[in-house]
Amino acid sequence: MTALLVPQSPPSYDGRARPTGHMDQLDALRAFAVLAVLLCHFATSYVPVLWYGQYGVNLFFVLSGFLITGILLRCRRISFERSQSRFLTIRQFYVRRFLRIFPLFYFVLIVTWIIGIDDVRHAFGWHVTYLTDFYIFRRATFGGASHFWSLAVEEQFYLLWPWAVIFLPFRWLLPVTAAAIGAAPITRMWGALHGWSFPSMRVFPVCSTDALGLGALLAICAERAPRMVPKLARMALRFGIALLALWLSLRRWHSAQVLNAAIFDLGCDLVFSWFVVSAAAGFTGAAGRLLTFRPLLLIGVISYGIYVYHVFAPELLIRAHLRSHSHTMNFGMDVAISFLLPLASWYCYERPINELKRHFPYALCTRRRESSVAEVAVSHANAY
């Protein structure tokens, strides 16, 4: 079984992109993450254990930290090698993020407001300013559009982290990242001691910095000490499994709830870190074939759309008078809408906007060949 999960060839972490510039198996991890969240929202009432599918969001966070930090580090290198303004690099980064994230988010937000989705209308100002996480923290409970909280956390991460990666001396990046990782479990413990609700601890931004930080840490190590990355990933896997085993042994003890608040998320994030590094290097064998299965890769490509749209699928079906007395039929229709809408959205709306990124390369060169090489180095962001 282990042989199926461990990459059979040594991973290449030399900071250079593959010829395609895209790590396909990371799309498959996105697919698993969004499928877990979807099952959590649609099937928990039938299979209660699927409640844990919400931790697919943590996998998204680890992926974000890894990919965005890797892109920013390559951009930093471009700035130094070409004597290009770092402020220009930051501008290009934000324009490209804007093109990938904002059009879909604000389209869905405006449409759901127009058709009168209550959970959007009642908190529209919070959603539109990417403060859904603080709205949930303030109310201490989730609502119908609460999935926007993770997008808010990521946008807050994008607001701060690029400046740190591009402008801080490199020797400071590891301590800053380590501090971010440590701050999350400490904050969750503090929240548990002070009676925070589960939603409050789940959405407070600092409570997610261990997932984002672990991804960032692996990207930083891949930049400066690539040979250490597989070893770090294996250590993360073992430590993560140990923490989850400790959580399983303590979770029934009320006196251990404060400790559990700290260790469960961290254990998941450490295990996810190993999966991200291994998929970036490339699984082979049966695992590799699974993670390059084309339908799974397509789900990964449209995973952002699935995540944004899926919560509204039941409401849309109710308004269309398509709800059934059969739970199985309702589940099937919810899932179908959650895939068909994002698929149409990707091909008709998101991808054409996403292709505008070619006008905003990180390296502004006079020669076409140089520009294309720089674009290959960061092209994984185009689908992300």
Which residues have C-beta within 8 Å of that of residue 96, sequence separation ≥ 6?
A: 357, 360, 381
Give the burial class of 292: count Cβ atoms within 10 A of its Cβ; 0-12 exposed, 13-18 middle, 19 or more buried. Answer: middle
Which residues have C-beta within 8 Å of that of residue 310, sequence separation ≥ 6?
A: 37, 38, 41, 42, 147, 334, 337, 338
How far apart CA 255 and CA 252 sit, in angstroms, is 9
How far apart CA 380 and CA 384 sit, in angstroms, is 7
Please name the residue ranges forming H helices in the chain: 2-5, 24-43, 56-81, 86-114, 118-121, 124-128, 132-139, 148-167, 170-193, 198-203, 209-224, 229-250, 257-281, 285-291, 294-301, 303-310, 313-319, 327-345, 351-354, 368-378
Which residues have C-beta within 8 Å of that of residue 6, sequence separation ≥ 6?
A: 278, 283
Q: How far is CA 248 from the centre of its chain?
A: 25
Backbone angles phi, psi at 214, to 5 degrees: -65, -40
How far apart CA 337 and CA 320 sit, in angstroms, is 12
Task: Name the nearest CA neighbour of 52 among 362, 267, 328.
Answer: 267
Neighbours of 148 (CB within 10 A): 28
Q: How many CA atoms lie within 13 A of 240 on its CB side?
A: 20
Strand, helix or coil at 44? coil
How far apart CA 88 and CA 95 sit, in angstroms, is 11
Per the prediction, the chain carries an average pLDDT of 88
Encode pLDDT of 74-89 as tens digits.
999 988 888 889 999 9
Which residues have C-beta within 8 Å of that of residue 208, sequence separation ≥ 6?
A: 58, 61, 150, 153, 184
Q: Is the pLDDT reported for residue 141 higher than 90?
A: yes
Degrees, nearest 5: CA angle 213-214-216: 60
> pTM of the entire structure?
0.89
Percent of the chain with pLDDT over 90: 77
Encode pLDDT of 188-203 as tens digits.
999 999 999 999 999 9
pLDDT of the residue at 17: 37
pLDDT of the residue at 45: 87
Encode pLDDT of 22-62 as tens digits.
689 999 999 999 999 999 999 998 899 999 999 999 999 99
User: Measured between alpha carbons, how far apart are the two ends of the chain, in Å?
Assistant: 31
384 falls in which pLDDT band (50, 70, 90)?
low
Q: Is the pLDDT reported for residue 253 higher than 90?
A: no
pLDDT of the residue at 251: 82
Q: How many residues does the chain have?
A: 384
Task: Name the nearest CA neighbour of 23 among 165, 188, 222.
Answer: 222
Q: How far is CA 190 from the centre of its chain?
A: 25
How far apart CA 16 and CA 381 sit, in angstroms, is 14
Task: Name the nearest CA neighbour of 154 among 111, 97, 103.
Answer: 97
324 falls in which pLDDT band (50, 70, 90)?
confident
